A and B are shown apart, each in its own frame.
Chain A
Amino acid sequence: MDDLLKDFLAESTENLAQLDQDVVELERDPSNASLLNSIFRAIHTIKGTCGFLALPRLETVSHTAESVLERLRKGDLKAEPDVISDILRAVDVIKTILSELAANQAEPAGDDSLLIALLEQWLGPDAPRRAIAIGPEAIASAALEFGMSPDASSAMPGSSGDQASAAPSSIRVNVKLLDALMNLAGELVLSRNQLLEMSSRNEDSPFATPVQQLSRITAELQGAVMKTRMQPVGSAWSKLPRIVRDIARETGKKIELDMKGAATELDRQLVQALQDPLTHMVRNSADHGIESPDVRRASGKAAVGRITLNAYHEAGHVIVEVTDDGKGIDAGQVRRTAIERGLVSKEAVHAMSDCQVLRLVFEPGFSTAASVTHISGRGVGMDVVRSNIERVGGAVDLQSVGGQGCTIRVRLPLTLAIVSSLIISARGETFAFPQASVLELIRLSDDQLGRSDVLHDVRLFRLRDDLVPVVRLGDALGLPANESGAVATLVICQAGAAHFGIIVDDVVDTQEIVVKPVGRLIRAVGCYAGCTILGDGRVVMIVDPAALAVRAGIQINAVAKVAAPALTPATRPPDSLLLFGVGENAVQAVPLSSVARLEEIPSDRIEYAGGRPVVQYRGFLLPLVPASPAVTFTSGRSNAVIVFNEGSASFGIAVSEIRDIVDEIVNLELASTRPGVLGTAVIAGAATEVLDVSYYMERARRGSVS
């Protein structure tokens, strides 16, 4: 591309980002002369350069827009919403042409006569009112023709508006170069760490002083390089005033957008990751949150709705809050929708607290909007917001008071490149865990570990009143077993709303580590978040706890976990349960009410029909289904069988031994991971799987047919 054109595009892009903000600001503050001047200058510069570069279409549009601005500047016209809208339309067309220009190095073909007509009506002698008759349809179709897709503004790469106007002391640097600098600084830190370790081994080395100096300079260099990657969070906000203004105009609402803490800095990668979710949240607030002025007045609020963005640092994180004073989110509506969409069961959702209910809006497939407007509710909902935020290690939460508005709180790490982590060891190997996903550490004696319950290969640990599935890191990673010490550490982790534990041998250290991406051949493994180099030069893998848990067969089902505490004891009378053993030491339960009889059947009476065990019982054949593959029919012994009746059909479930009958309130703590099991609960003080009788019924019936 021609250098002149390249410079023109870069400059214009920067100016335009500022322009949108300024024009909206002007509408609010029509008498602000300096604002008007800055808008005029931006358009004027574009127009002026067009002449040199032979871009007639761009020149005509910017020239006409400039003429309207000139009248505003002279005071012949007032900055009313109608004229501002037309100027914004012109800005959009300029943006579209510029982005085409950037892509194809040529001005796109197109007809701007409608836009020119719209603009020129403001230039006539009696301009203040619309001089030519243009119906609303014509304007709508004009908008289409102008190429004002909702994405028109996002076609321009976002640039920091705040800095654009105060530029002389800064230069433009390629982002790739910054990334390369960051990597080099990271490597320098690692080499420095190695040197430090070497020199600390012999104190009277002549290298000690220079190494100390090198160390200090390296730390400072790294800090400075990190800073070059920092961007004010406000650069993700520059498009929002325009979006809010357009929605307000379109829906006839009055909305004020308040932005605080725009200068709060965070890594540019995070600023980018924040942009789309933020836009979505603000759109939601403007479209669905804020009510129309009449409704607001009727409910005793100010006619003008207010959306507040607030960004600030807190405990090493950046918090971004989006607050509106609209109608809030109706927990009842959320409950109904959640049931309708089949996200949670009726019983579960009604026992949840309002706070838990509100979080359901982050579940996939959820949208509360009664009507889908073209502004929001296009199928990409809050679940996308949450997954985008979580992808960069952030978290999002929501609070709402019915009728008083809603606050969404996003918590982001300062940077992606360096994370606090726990350095742990397992079976002689060293790994790193990102600290953000670790909730607590528990020192375990072997004894305690032995007492934890095992259910269908998943070990469960009783943490206060919860059953938490745990996995040994060494087993999950397939490390060869060795003699481990008498104590181990249980790392309780969180992924989504689910908690689980990972057993490691020891926690060695906490460190700020530089995350390096893993090569493509290792990426396929899936349970590493990256790798890093420790001070002694060793490469260690950074374990992604959530992926590890999934790999180890622990179900991370957010909804099930949220619903778990829902069945509160007070709401139901206790159930009578039949407890029985399956295999070595696993315990399962069925409701006693579903059981017809208990039988002891000697193995030699068991016959096989079509490969399935049956027994002659009271004049008919009773199909038997083992409760688990661990239940076998050993000859010479008798087998415990629980007989169920279903209509005229009967079937038996073979178990290892009948244990007990207890009266207990069943709280399913863990959702089932396999068919035939409803879930897991603490019954008579032990982790117990509750069987789904209908599943075995079905299996017995199919068996007897074949």
Chain B
Amino acid sequence: MTATLTSAAEVVTFRVGDQWFGVDVMDVQEVIGQLQIALVPLAAPGIAGFLNLRGQIVTAIDVHQWLDISRRTPEPSMNVVVRDGDELFALVVDEVGDVAAVSPGTMDPAPASLAGAWAHVCTGVVRMDQGLLAIVDVTRLLNEPNTRP
């Protein structure tokens, strides 16, 4: 799998469970605190529902469930609002970190041993102080048919 970041870029980092992720800062519209999420019955697992972002409907994705990450003790969530095409999505995460600069030089390709959904969405890893940062492609993440291992 090849990395989509071909030149130096900045990523917004966020934590889900014990894992840190990074998404291209250009894909991120804003970061907001906890909002009321309206449940959508019958929606696929991992879709938390809809939230109302200043009158715009945003589909909220529970990244825990979406990527099969076990939940630590309940904690207040944050929303990373990303844009894919014309549509807005909110990634419901546990904590939002700094914006980090990554360059192709510091990034390793995603390990070949990754399975299922992870192999599809992860384009590379960066070694950081707090552990490995998984760089995630937003478009792939949102078009992941959510195959569970």
Contact = CB atoms under 8 A, between A and B. Distances in A.
Answer whether A and B are interacting partners: yes
B52 A538 contact: yes
A522 B39 CA distance: 11
B40 A516 contact: no
23 contacts: A187-B55, A187-B56, A188-B55, A191-B54, A191-B55, A429-B39, A429-B41, A477-B41, A479-B41, A519-B50, A519-B58, A521-B59, A521-B142, A522-B50, A522-B59, A533-B52, A537-B36, A537-B52, A538-B38, A539-B49, A540-B38, A541-B38, A541-B40
B129 to A, nearest CB: 35
Contact of A190 (B41, B50, B55): B55
Given A187-B56, A539-B50, 9 more contacts: A477-B42, A478-B42, A522-B40, A522-B47, A525-B40, A525-B43, A533-B52, A538-B38, A539-B49
Contacts of B54: 187, 191
B26 interface: no
Interface in A518-565: 518-522, 524-525, 527-528, 531, 533, 537-541
A540 B39 CA distance: 9
Q: Shortest 8 CB-CB distances between A and B: which pairs?
A: A187-B55, A477-B41, A519-B59, A539-B38, A539-B50, A190-B55, A525-B42, A516-B57
A539 B41 contact: no
Interface residues of A, number: 26
A191 B40 CA distance: 22
How would you classify the secondary structure of chain A's contact residues: helix, strand, loop or mixed?
A: mixed
B85 to A, nearest CB: 9
A539 B51 contact: yes
A238 B40 CA distance: 44
B44 interface: yes
A58 B59 CA distance: 52
B47 A521 contact: yes
Contacts of A518: 50, 57
B98 interface: no
B89 interface: yes
Interface residues of B, number: 23
Interface in B24-44: 36, 38-44
Nearest to B146: A521
B139 to A, nearest CB: 12
B75 interface: no
Contacts of B44: 521, 524-525
B46 to A, nearest CB: 9
A66 B89 CA distance: 58
A539 B56 contact: no
B50 A531 contact: yes
Contacts of B38: 531, 538-541
Contacts of A190: 55
Given A531-B50, A533-B57, A537-B52, A478 B89 contact: no
A516 B51 CA distance: 13
A541 B43 CA distance: 12
Interface in A682-702: none
Contacts of A539: 38, 49-52, 57
